[in-house]
């Protein structure tokens, strides 16, 4: 069934939640105080609006009370995140999920009635562990807290497609460092190089992007 979601705050987390919900066919309103962020979501959401999530009038003028689910993904501005959550619960929104930055933020959100509190960094740690045991990910090298290299088995739909066709860097933000085909190793493939079934992709990128790449391929 088609559901209605509003996402307030379009950092990496808010964007990935919105894009996925939209892809799954749901009605998605994306909101940010920053116009550039809002414009970037025009194609990946149903409606995209500039508004201050910590301002009651602005929220009401978005028609936010018509949404069953609202996700507060405001990051560093903890004060705005708390105020926004409080306003949404006061307006009677049934399901308000909020991204928390830290333990104290979490405690306050809990007190004011957030229905679910999300810790992407913590959850990501768990998922990384799952990456390690996933059958697509062959190897995983942590370069820093944020960046990794993964060896991923090429899915069959990539067969005979070039990097340009697949538009990998633009779509997922990851870069293919190399293609392993049996004993052959193509280091730094060109954009025209084609992938074949059973190739192994050596992919570098931000962990969030690598995860997105693995899950959507």
Give contact residues for ligand ATP (rule: CB under 6 A). Answer: 8-14, 31-34, 37, 52-54, 74-77, 80, 163-164, 167-170, 175-176, 189, 191
In the complex with ligand ATP, which residue's Cβ is closer, 36 or 133? 36
Task: Report the residue closest to ligand ATP, judged by CB.
Answer: 75
In the complex with ligand ATP, which residue's Cβ is closer, 21 or 31? 31
Give the orientation angle of helix 78-90 with respect to helix 103-111, to 10 degrees. Answer: 20
208 near 124, Cβ under 8 Å?
Answer: yes
In the DSSP assignment, the letter for residue 101 is S
Work out how close the CB of 201 gets to ligand ATP at its nearest, in angstroms, rounded to a whole number: 9
Distance of alpha carbon 94 from the chain centroid: 23
In the complex with ligand ATP, which residue's Cβ is closer, 2 or 123? 123
In the complex with ligand ATP, which residue's Cβ is closer, 28 or 163? 163
73 near 41, Cβ under 8 Å?
Answer: no
Q: In what order do the strands lie in the sheet with 147-153?
A: 137-142, 147-153, 200-206, 175-181, 184-187
Work out how close the CB of 212 gets to ligand ATP at its nearest, in angstroms, rounded to a whole number: 13
Work out how close the CB of 116 gets to ligand ATP at its nearest, in angstroms, rounded to a whole number: 16
């Amino acid at each position: 069934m088609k559901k209605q979601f509003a996402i307030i705050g379009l950092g990496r987390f808010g964007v990935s939640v919105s894009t996925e919900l939209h892809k799954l066919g749901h009605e998605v309103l994306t909101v940010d105080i920053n116009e550039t962020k809002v414009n970037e979501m025009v194609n990946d959401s149903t409606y995209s609006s500039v508004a201050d999530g910590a301002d009651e009038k602005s929220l009401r003028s978005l028609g936010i009370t018509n949404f069953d689910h609202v996700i507060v993904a405001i990051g560093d501005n903890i004060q705005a995140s708390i105020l926004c959550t409080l306003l949404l619960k006061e307006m009677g929104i049934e399901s308000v999920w909020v991204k928390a930055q830290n333990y104290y933020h979490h405690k306050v959100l809990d007190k004011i009635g957030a229905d679910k509190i999300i810790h992407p960094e913590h959850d990501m740690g768990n998922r990384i562990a799952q990456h390690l045991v996933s059958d697509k990910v062959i190897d995983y090298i942590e370069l820093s807290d944020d960046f990794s290299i993964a060896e991923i088995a090429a899915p069959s739909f990539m067969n005979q497609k070039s990097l340009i066709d697949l538009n990998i860097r633009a779509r997922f933000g990851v870069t293919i460092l190399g293609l392993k085909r049996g004993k052959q190793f193509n280091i730094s493939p060109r954009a025209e190089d084609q992938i074949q079934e059973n190739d192994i992709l050596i992919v570098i990128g931000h962990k969030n992007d690598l995860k997105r790449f693995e899950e959507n391929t």
